[in-house]
């Protein structure tokens, strides 16, 4: 096992990883930008090093500065968290060449899955169900038109190097498609320095269901069941739950088996997530694999009792998986609400600033993963998620009841947050019945719901 780990991240996930390290008896090094001097991860780590200016490019994405920090502090491994450098295969390679263990999969798997069009090709070739679409990258608008007419409108143009819902455009006819193709390309170039896009048939009213994978360095692979992340805004997840309300025993087993097959095809090691879209007829299609810890991992932890971050560290240090598929048991129902510093009534514009009122929820079966505290200044430079509220009940109804009361206890001000939006969603009949699609939030607002 490692003696010392550097955490190349900030915010709640840096705090989450420090906690796992503490429990494993591993010393920690935090890195921080000038804007994050007062951040909780800096206070909780054994050592902390400033790696640059406020902008992510200068600090959390600054590979030479992070590697220097790792070398100065003599760490054996780096945990990248999610976002920033977590899915950067070059960073994983640099770590390797500096004899620092990257806590994640091998660089080859990151690179393969990072090219979503290539990953789809591999899956399709091996009989994994995928959404009908182009066979790889689309070169020009003529080819785009040909594919769209073949799979039939509506279609979705997606960035091959994409993530976080960026570089995606839907089109309902030829006219739309050409502009969707060009804007998706431009957005992808800007966001990911890679203009490559591909096309899929647009699945109407889908659900997003994903499966958590753990694989050691010796080929043992298990899944930890599914998460349902259908409640999204602009393709960004807002509420996640485990298990999924729409899977029955047979479909659950099947999706788990398919996810395991996907991970094996990628020769995957460490923690990863296979994302699927599920259509109205309960057909499921491989969408992509995320080669890192996910924001929503706690719901899986609560229903399985497995600490995924600790498992990532154990696997990276060369340990074998300590359980087989048949040892993994599922208990009850977990739900997570993402609390973002945004104003839902003003188009979800970011709401940075000082947190003056901070009254966190507590009590039985409530978990709060956050880096905020009273008088914390939410900086304007990074992702607006400031907390994750996660609850665990014996069944879905109990989890909903716990979440409602936890949301009612939770007070943050004067920065605006998504708490009032969640309170409303948890009173919405369609949500309570579990009958939703990825369009839920859109419909919710167009039905005149105000917070």
Stretch that binds ligand ADP, among 64-72, 196-204, 257-265, 378-386 (CB under 6 A): 196-204
The answer to the question of residue 277 lying near ligand ADP (CB under 6 A) is yes
The answer to the question of residue 164 lying near ligand ADP (CB under 6 A) is yes
Beta-bridge partner residues of 239 = 231, 337
- 292 has catalytic annotation: yes
Choose, by CB under 6 A, the member of 121, 235, 264, 365 that binds ligand ADP. Answer: 235
Question: Structure tokens of 366?
Answer: 């409530």
Beta carbons of 116 and 200 less than 8 angstroms apart: no
Q: How far is the CB of 162 from ligand ADP (least distance, A)?
A: 5
Count CB neighbours of 430 within 10 A. 13
User: 3-class secondary structure for 382-407?
Assistant: CCCEEEEEEEEECCHHHHHHHHHHHH
The answer to the question of residue 20 lying near ligand ADP (CB under 6 A) is no
Spatial distance between the Cα atoms of 335 and 110, rounded to a whole number of angstroms: 28
- Choice between 62 and 294, CB closer to ligand ADP: 294
The answer to the question of residue 87 lying near ligand ADP (CB under 6 A) is no
Q: How far is the CB of 277 from ligand ADP (least distance, A)?
A: 6
Q: How far is the CB of 273 from ligand ADP (least distance, A)?
A: 10
Backbone dihedral region for residue 219 (phi beyond 0: left; psi -120 to 50: alpha; all else: beta): left
Would you give the distance in Å from CA 92 to the centre of its chain? 19
Residues 285-324 that bind ligand ADP (CB under 6 A): 287-288
Choose, by CB under 6 A, the member of 21, 48, 95, 131 that binds ligand ADP. Answer: 131
- Choice between 56 and 230, CB closer to ligand ADP: 230
Choose, by CB under 6 A, the member of 48, 156, 215, 419 that binds ligand ADP. Answer: 156
Beta carbons of 335 and 403 less than 8 angstroms apart: yes
Spatial distance between the Cα atoms of 312 and 112, rounded to a whole number of angstroms: 20
Spatial distance between the Cα atoms of 414 and 409, rounded to a whole number of angstroms: 16
Beta carbons of 66 and 46 less than 8 angstroms apart: no
Sequence-ordered list of residues with C-beta below 8 angstroms from that of 162, at least 6 positions apart, any chain:
116, 168, 188, 191, 192
Q: How far is the CB of 288 from ligand ADP (least distance, A)?
A: 5
Choose, by CB under 6 A, the member of 79, 106, 208, 223 that binds ligand ADP. Answer: 208
* Candidates 292, 365, 427, 433; catalytic one: 292
The answer to the question of residue 438 lying near ligand ADP (CB under 6 A) is yes
Stretch that binds ligand ADP, among 195-203, 260-268, 355-363, 407-415 (CB under 6 A): 195-203
Burial of 425 (0-12, 13-18, 19+ CB in 10 A): buried
Choose, by CB under 6 A, the member of 162, 256, 298, 379 that binds ligand ADP. Answer: 162
The residues annotated with a catalytic role in the active site are 292
Residues that bind ligand ADP (CB under 6 A): 131, 156, 162-165, 200, 202-203, 206, 208, 232, 235, 275, 277, 287-288, 438
């Amino acid at each position: 096992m490692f003696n010392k780990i550097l955490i190349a991240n900030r915010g709640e996930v840096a705090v989450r990883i420090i906690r796992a390290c503490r429990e494993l008896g591993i010393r920690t090094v935090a890195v921080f930008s000038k804007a994050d001097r007062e951040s909780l991860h800096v206070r909780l780590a054994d050592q902390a090093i400033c790696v640059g200016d406020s902008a992510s490019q200068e600090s959390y994405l600054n590979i030479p500065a992070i590697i220097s920090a790792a070398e100065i502090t003599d760490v054996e491994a780096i945990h990248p968290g999610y976002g920033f450098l977590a899915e950067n295969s070059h960073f994983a390679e640099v770590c390797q060449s500096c004899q620092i263990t990257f806590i994640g999969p091998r660089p080859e798997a990151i690179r393969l899955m990072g090219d979503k069009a290539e990953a789809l090709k591999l899956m399709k070739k091996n009989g994994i169900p995928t959404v009908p679409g182009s066979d790889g990258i689309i070169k020009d608008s003529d080819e785009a038109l040909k594919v769209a007419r073949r799979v039939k409108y509506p279609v979705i143009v997606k960035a091959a190097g994409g993530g976080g819902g960026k570089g995606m455009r839907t089109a309902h006819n030829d006219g739309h498609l050409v502009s969707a193709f060009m804007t998706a390309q431009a957005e992808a170039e800007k966001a990911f320095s890679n203009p490559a896009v591909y096309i899929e048939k647009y699945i109407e009213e889908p659900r997003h269901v994903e499966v958590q994978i753990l694989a050691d360095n010796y080929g043992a692979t298990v899944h930890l069941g599914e998460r349902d992340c259908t409640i999204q805004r602009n393709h960004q997840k807002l509420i996640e739950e485990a298990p999924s309300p729409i899977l029955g025993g047979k479909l659950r087993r099947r999706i788990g088996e398919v996810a395991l097959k996907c991970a094996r095809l990628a020769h995957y090691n460490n923690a990863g997530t296979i994302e699927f879209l599920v259509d109205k007829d309960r057909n499921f299609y491989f969408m992509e694999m995320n080669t890192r810890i996910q924001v929503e991992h706690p719901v899986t932890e609560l229903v399985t009792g497995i600490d995924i971050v600790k498992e990532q560290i154990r696997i990276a240090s060369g340990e074998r998986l300590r359980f087989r598929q048949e040892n993994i048991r599922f208990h009850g129902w977990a739900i997570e609400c993402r609390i973002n510093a945004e104003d839902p009534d003003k188009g979800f514009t970011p709401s940075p600033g000082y947190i003056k009122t901070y009254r966190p929820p507590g009590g039985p079966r409530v978990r709060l993963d956050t880096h905020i505290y009273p008088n914390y200044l939410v900086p304007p430079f990074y992702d607006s998620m400031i907390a994750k509220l996660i609850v665990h009940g014996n069944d879905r109804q109990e989890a909903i009841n716990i979440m409602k009361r936890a949301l009612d206890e939770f007070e943050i001000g004067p920065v605006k947050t998504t708490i009032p939006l969640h309170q409303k969603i948890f009173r919405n009949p369609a949500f309570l019945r579990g009958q939703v699609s990825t369009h839920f939030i859109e419909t919710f607002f167009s039905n005149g719901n105000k917070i």
